[in-house]
Amino acid sequence: MTQLLTFDGHPLHLEDVTALSRREKNARLSGDSTFLARIEAGAAHVARTLAERGIIYGVTTGYGDSVTTPVPPELVPELGHRLFTYHGVGLGPAFGIEETRAILAARLQSLVQGLSGVSVPMLRQLERLLVDDLLPVIPSEGSVGASGDLTPLSYVAAVLCGEREVFVDGQRRSTAEVFKERGIVPIQLKPKEGLAIMNGTAVMTGLACLAYERAEKVSRLSAHLTAMASAAMGGNPHHFDERLFQAKPHLGQQRAAGWIRDDLAGSERSESRLQDRYSIRCAPHVIGVVEDTLPFLRSLIENELNSANDNPLIDPDTGRIMHGGHFYGGHVALAMDTLKNVIANLADLMDRQMALLVDVRFNHGLPPNLSGATGQRASVSHGLKALQIGASAWTAEALKLTMPASVFSRSTECHNQDKVSLGTIAARDALRVLELTEQVAAAHVVTCRQAVFLKARSGAKLPAPVLAFAEHVGVEPLIEDRMLEPDLRGLIARMRTL
Active site residues: 57
Separation CA 465–CA 455 (nearest Å): 15
Query: What H or E segment, with its residue span, contains residue 136?
Result: strand 135-136
Return d(Cα 384, Cα 386) in angstroms, integer: 6
The DSSP bridge pattern shows strands 139-141 and 171-174 to be unpaired
CA 319 – CA 321 distance, rounded (Å): 6
Q: Of 284, 283, 273, 292, nearest to 233 (Cα)?
A: 273
Under a CB-based contact definition with an 8 Å cutoff, are residues 59 and 46 in contact?
yes
Could you give the CA distance from residue 342 to residue 437 in angstroms, rounded to a whole number? 11
Q: How buried is 73 (Cβ within 10 angstroms: 0-12 exposed, 13-18 middle, 19+ buried)?
A: exposed
* Sequential DSSP letters for 367-405: PGGG----GGGGGG--TTHHHHHHHHHHHHHHHHTTS-G
**Cα separation of 276 and 297, whole Å?**
32
Query: Is the Cβ–Cβ distance between 280 and 229 less than 8 Å?
Result: yes
Cα–Cα distances (Å) from 164 to 85, 93, 176, 182, 197, in that order, read 10, 16, 8, 16, 16
Task: Please count the CA atoms within 13 angstroms of the CA of 312 that sit on its side-chain side.
Answer: 22
Secondary structure class of 321 (helix, strand, coil):
strand
Helix (H) or strand (E) holding 346: helix 330-358
Dist CA 89 CA 415 (whole Å): 19
Nearest of 212, 256, 254 to residue 349 by alpha carbon:
256
CA distance 17 to 211: 11
Cα separation, 463 vs 157, in Å, equals 56
| Rounded Cα gap, residues 85 and 395, in angstroms | 41
In one letter, which amino acid is 105?
A
Q: Cα torsion for 161, 164, 167, 169, to the nearest 10°?
A: 70
